A and B are shown apart, each in its own frame.
Chain A
Amino acid sequence: MRIIKKIQTRKGAKLNIKGEAEKVFKKTLPSKTYALKPDDFFGILPKLLKKEGEEIKTGEPVFFSKNEPRIKFVSPVSGFIKSIERGARRKIEKIIISSSSNDNSELHEVSNWENLNRDELKKLLLDSGNWPYIHQRPYGTIADPNETPKAIFVSTHTTNPLCPDFDFILNKEIEDFQNGISALNKLSDQHVFLGTDASFPGMFKNISDVQHYTVSGLHPAGNISLHIQELAPLNMGDRVWTVNPEDVVKLGCFLSTGKFSPKRTVAITGNSVEQPKYIVTKQGAELQPILNEFKLLYDQNRVINGDVLTGTISCLDGHLGYFNNQISIIPEGNDYRMFGWLPFKDNNILSLSNTSFSRLFKKKDFEVDTNINGEERALVVTGEMEKVFPLDIYPMQLIKACIVEDIEKMEALGIYEVVPEDFGLIDYANTSKIEAQEIIREGIELMINEVG
């Protein structure tokens, strides 16, 4: 297969953190409860279809999107709705489903999916709860089924700290992967792009109906924003769709069985975990039974749904996120450090700055914790964000435009081309400890509300 482009970037950084998952699957006990968290679906206002106590089948809708009622969110297991947890202003935080031993799945007619036209395929994916796997740019929200994207991107090469290896995860499911890709092809007039790492692993060579490209470089080279910029730059009004690699498999699996596939492969990573490994579970699984199988090295740990740069905080008795292929567990850093402001002191703390010898003395296996290592300050230092930001965008200027809510400027500076995750390393590296991802997320919310 021809490679249409080799994307390379020198900007960025590899954070060598201890706790990469060994490529072995560990058996865990099945979870008793599963949770759907509307917050996992950015920009969705949930409207419930089920009440507490009601029975539910795998693949049966639990809630739908208020703005686009055709987008349904389905249960990963069969059982009954155990509880609906609400937060401030009755916002739905979690819908907890208790799973029963017998597994009933909602069945959809899929035998002739290859002959369906675009609208029929869309309807099938919407009805079966498979639509939320498709995200759109700009904004990184769930794709609008009324639109046709100018391209669809799937990238199996990720560069987040301790990220799972999709070559390993997808190894045995290449057939379903191909089916998923073929289905995505029907949704776009133009190309489906498939990104792999620079070695272009053999298993992806035979995938057809795609434009192959390879990616190499430091994090955030694996972020799709960069790939889109290189291959199909997003202009105002354009739509590009993205799908996570394992979700492509799930689409393919659904199209061959007719059943919603809740399977999720997760890498349990982080320097709190003694022997990090992969596990197989279902979306929204309770974390407790999974983590019981792992030995944690510290007393106070932070459990993160996702990676240490962009994940969301969970807790030991929390639930796995809907899209995560990774759980990171690192120790909390709530202790004091004497004279920590002295340059070249505390070189055991991973630092990208040259005011520390950390990278000189030690090349890998850094222990990290959640200490901020300072306090938030005004933006003073310049040029440091650009070093870890490969997009052709001025990151600090965009952040400032978002802070002052200057929509015209945000538009001009490229808000359509970014998602908060692209600013994860900036969060990490910036001297002033500003919350870049939060600022960009608020900026994007503003854009959705004001511009749409």
Chain B
Amino acid sequence: MRTYFPVEELARDERFSKVNMRERMADPRTLAGDSATTTRKSRGNNNRLVPSRRDATDAARALMHGIFVGEIQALEGAGRTCHDFAVSNVPGTGPSGADSDPTTGNTVPFALKLDMARQAWDEARHVEISVKLSDWMGTEIGQFAENTVLFEAACSTDPVLRLAGVNRALEGLAIDVFTTMKDFGDLAGDPYLEFCEDWMLADEVTHVKMGSDWLRKVTENDPDRRKKALDFQNVVDKLFSYGGTRSDSEESPIGLARRFRELAGFSDAEVADIAAVSLAALDERKSSVAKMRDQAVTEMADQLGTA
């Protein structure tokens, strides 16, 4: 078995269809579709995923399937971190029998591996929960295309970047998503959704905290490495704020779960940063849409002028 596993080779049965972030962003409708303005027609400026939205049921089903495949990738990512790095305090126990990765020299503390194994179990349970919830909501396995970006963030050869990208950025996003879904279930009176999301939320807070703690410990004497990791986290945070999907604004379907993020070890300044990045992404999208609309109007005027 190789030490690092490429995202393209993630093993899935025939029900699944994978798309990567590049393909998703290449969909011309993502910007041209002007979903922000289209939805505003029917919902004012409120796009938050709440039961009162006309498309709430299907939107919740799609989000639940996104959670389901995200949990699979989180399971795979945690498992790979158990496997891919030698243990720093046990010479000769790396997966290839080397003291550390011959290319990067990266090792991880034994206790970090144990935490990743624990996370693998938690994520396996989340997959089980998601399968049952999806079934409850009338969604079939593989019914929606799977975006593999989460595992991409778990492919770094530096374990610290994995902690920053997966445990802090993506599991942090999971806190926001689960909070939104939990609230959705609560408002709709769906007993299972609210119940399950609450349990998963508790695990996610633990995972983010694991990431925060290990990032601090492992980079204690290496400020450059810590900065690199936090920069990577920002990139992932921004990637997942793409299109303003998650922000404090009611125009975003998913809100920022400030209280749970604090429990997970995010400082006030970090939460403020994520809020700013998310709002900027929302504004960026709105401005792109406005620009395209202006361009279309200009082109149409030109054509009419020349006709």
Q: Answer yes or no: do A and B interact.
A: no
